[in-house]
Amino acid sequence: MDYSKFFRAALNRLHDERRYRVFADLERIAGRFPHAVWHSPKGPRNVVIWCSNDYLGMGQHPKVVGAMVETATRVGTGAGGTRNIAGTHHPLVQLEQELADLHGKQASLLFTSGYVSNQTGISTIAKLIPDCLILSDALNHNSMIEGVRQAGCERQIFRHNDMAHLEELLIAAGPDRPKLIACESLYSMDGDVAPLAKICDLAEKYGAMTYVDEVHAVGMYGPRGGGIAERDGVMHRIDVLEGTLAKAFGCLGGYIAGSAEIIDSVRSYAPGFIFTTALPPAICSAATAAIRHLKASNWERERHQDRAARVKAILNAAGLPVMSNETHIVPLFVGDPEKCKQASDMLLEEHGIYIQPINYPTVAKGTERLRITPSPYHDDGLVDRLAEALLQVWDRLGLPLKQQSLAAE
Ligand SMILES: *Cc1c(COP(=O)(O)O)cnc(C)c1O
**Gap from CA of 284 to ligand 1 centroid (Å):** 18
Residue-averaged pLDDT of the chain:
97
Q: Confidence band (pLDDT; 50, 70, 90) for 403?
A: confident
Point out the ligand 1 atom lying closest to the alpha carbon of residue 141.
13
Structural contact between residues 251 and 294, judged by C-beta atoms closer than 8 angstroms: no
Residue 246 CB less than 6 A away from ligand 1? yes
Q: Is the CB of 255 under 6 A from ligand 1?
A: no
What are all long-range contacts of 69-77, with beta carbons under 8 Å and residues at least 24 apart? 69/282, 70/285, 71/281, 71/282, 71/284, 71/285, 71/286, 72/280, 72/281, 72/282, 75/281, 75/282, 76/281, 77/280, 77/282
Nearest-CA residue for ligand 1 atom 8 is 114
The average pLDDT across 345-365 equals 96
- Cα–Cα distance between 239 and 263 in angstroms, integer? 11
Q: Which H or E element spans position 43? A: strand 43-49
- Residue 217, pLDDT > 90, answer yes
Q: Are 125 and 117 in contact (CB under 8 A)?
A: no
Q: Averaged over 384-393, what is the pLDDT?
A: 98
What confidence tens digit (pLDDT) does each residue in 180-193 have?
999 999 999 999 99
pLDDT at 381: 98
Give the strands of the sheet with 369-372, arranged side by side: 330-333, 369-372, 357-358
Q: How far apart are CA 28 and CA 375, in angstroms?
A: 15
Helix axes 281-296, 62-75, angle to 10 degrees: 150
Ligand 1 atom with the smallest distance to the CA of 246 is: 7
> Does the CB atom of residue 371 touch ligand 1 within 6 A?
no
pLDDT for residue 405 is more than 80 = no
Q: What is the CA radius of gyration of the chain?
A: 22
Q: Does the C-beta of 141 come closer than 6 Å to ligand 1?
A: yes
**Distance in angstroms between the alpha carbons of the first and the last residue of the chain:** 62
Residues in the chain, overall count: 409
Q: Give yes or no for residue 113 CB within 6 A of ligand 1.
A: yes
> Residues 113, 244: contact at Cβ < 8 Å?
yes
* Ligand 1 centroid to residue 186 C-alpha, Å: 12
Cβ of 188 below 6 Å from ligand 1:
yes
Determine what percent of the chain is predicted with pLDDT higher than 90.
97
Q: Which of 53, 148, 247, 327 to mutate to test the pocket of ligand 1 (most atoms within 8 A of CB)?
A: 247
Ligand 1 proximity of 136 Cβ (cutoff 6 Å):
no
Question: Is the pLDDT assigned to residue 406 strictly greater than 60?
Answer: no
Nearest CA to 245 among 74, 109, 75?
109
How much is the pLDDT for 277?
98
Q: Is the CB of 213 under 6 A from ligand 1?
A: yes
Q: Which of 247, 312, 339, 341 is catalytic?
A: 247
Q: Distance (Å, rounded) from C-alpha 150 to C-alpha 127?
A: 9
Render pLDDT for 4-15 as a digit per residue (tens, 0 to 9): 999 999 999 999
Cα 391 to averaged position of ligand 1 atoms, centre (Å): 31
Counting Cβ atoms within 10 Å, is residue 397 exposed (0-12), middle (13-18) or buried (19+)? Answer: middle
Q: How far is the CA of 207 from the centre of ligand 1 (A)?
A: 28
The predicted pLDDT at position 404 comes to 55
pLDDT score of 17: 87
Q: Which residues contact 59 (CB under 8 A, 6 or more apart)?
A: 28, 33, 250, 251
Please spell the DSSP secondary structure of 263-284, one letter per residue.
HHHHHHH-HHHHTSBPPPHHHH
State pTM to two decimals: 0.96
What residues are paired with 135 via a beta bridge? 156, 181
Looking at the chain, the whole-number percentage of residues with pLDDT higher than 70 is 99
Q: Is 333 exposed, middle or buried (0-12, 13-18, 19+ CB in 10 A)?
A: middle
Task: Report in angstroms the alpha-carbon separations of 279 from 100, 122, 153, 201.
Answer: 17, 20, 30, 36
Pocket probe mutation, ligand 1, options 111, 143, 241, 279, max atoms within 8 Å of Cβ: 143
Checking phi first, is residue 114 left (phi over 0); if not, alpha (psi -120 to 50) or beta? alpha
Q: Is the CB of 185 under 6 A from ligand 1?
A: no
pLDDT tens per residue, range 261-301: 999 999 999 999 999 999 999 999 999 999 999 999 999 99
SS3 190: coil
Ligand 1 near 119 CB (within 6 A): no
Whether 48 lines ligand 1, by a CB cut-off of 6 Å, is no
pLDDT at 258 over 70: yes
**What was the pLDDT predicted at 399?**
97
**pLDDT tens track for 84-128:** 999 999 999 999 999 999 999 999 999 999 999 999 999 999 999
**What pLDDT does residue 409 have?**
45
Mean pLDDT value of segment 247-257: 98
Averaged over 367-392, what is the pLDDT? Answer: 98
pLDDT at position 151 over 90: yes
Rounded average pLDDT over 224-244 = 98
Q: How far is the CA of 190 from the centre of ligand 1 (A)?
A: 15
Mark whether 247 is an active-site residue.
Answer: yes
Task: Say whether pLDDT at 214 is over 60.
Answer: yes
Mutate which of 148, 187, 215, 255 for ligand 1? The one with the most ligand atoms within 8 Å of its CB, which is 215
Q: How far apart are the CA of 115 and the centre of ligand 1, in A?
A: 5
Give residue 172 CA to ligand 1 midpoint distance, Å. 31
pLDDT in tens, 51-63: 999 999 999 999 9
Does 369 score more than 70 pLDDT?
yes
Instruction: Output the pLDDT for position 19.
Output: 87
